Structure 1
Amino acid sequence: MSILPASLLRPQRAELPEVRRASRAPQAEEPAQPQQRRPATDAYIPSQAPEPSGRYWPGRAEDGSPGIYFDDPERDAPGRAQPAGVEGMEPTAPTDGEPEAPEAGQPSKEGKPARSEERCKASTDKVDREIERLRKRREELAARLRTEDDPAKAKTLERQLAQVENELRQKDNDAYRRQHTQFTQL
């Protein structure tokens, strides 16, 4: 073990203020220079208009009415379609005050021929036959279940009856009929 002199073990209080003064002194001696920083800014770099991508987007016409616009990639003019009032811009949805479609054979406001109306017939006969077949099957299974004496066969019939009732519940509604309606052109 080494023995240290007592002067090293005791803190000398006279040195502490000098250390504090020394640490503050260099800051006070440096001249205060204002730092001039320029704010970061973005710059606009012009570029060519992108190719039409075939997208739809909502927009407003010059009169403020809403419309849906289409960026047609097949259009002759290069560049993107611009909002209402710019060449090549046509709303695809009717706006307030405009008829949905002109009469068949009548030209529209722009002089373009109007699309002819398509006549279709909707038929739910196939769905109705399917639902009727399920109802008959349910009645048949219920009658067989009432007359069945064997518990194993009765359990099988109950399972089949539950399956038919579940299928009937899914198919015997307006939403299913609308989804499975068959349209034929007249």
Structure 2
Amino acid sequence: MKELRIVLNGSEDITYELLMNELPYLKSVMHETLRLATIVPRNIKVVVDDDVLPDGSPVRQGDIIVFSNWCMGRNRRVWGEDAALFVPERWLLDDEDGSEDIAHAKAKNTPMHGQGTSPFGKFKMENQFKFNSFNAGPRLCLGQTFATLEAMLTTVLLLQRLEFQLVPEQKTPTYRNAATLMMKNPPLVVVKSIRH
């Protein structure tokens, strides 16, 4: 909410550029959510030609390779010791990491495109083979940008208009085993309007 208050400053003028470039923390939350709760928890590929995987393992034409995006998103060797934790900050660069334009805009207290500048630095996209919630290589999802934009816009509009509180003393949310990630015990919330 802090980022939305600062960047939007009460404005309802939400553009593509604002969503994709000026809300790095929200974008980080979206990517961290997909890292831990990827829509497709496991994937299957068929080897087209004999090849060697990056780790040196040979694969033969017709082999079936099954891998778990769910497990890869929690792999400590890939994501660090805190891989099982929800840490949106792992997707952010601070000013010292090279976001000079944002640092300059902050110093002058002027917006780049929107009403204000996010205090959270700059979004850093990971390699598609590390963050593979949208697949990778020639099979990279064509709708990745649209899906991110859609999720961010929906989140902004909901947070501007509604307040969410978890229902106390409910079952811990769990997932069902399926081709796409489904909730077994979804978290229950009370929703209240904050607009009059």
Is this a same-fold pair by TM over 0.5? Answer: no
Which structure would you say has the larger RCO, counting Cα contacts within 8 Å and 6 or more residues apart? 2
- Tell me the TM-score range normalised by the shorter chain: under 0.3
Q: Indicate the structure with greater strand content.
A: 2
TM-score of the superposition, structure 2-length normalised?
0.17
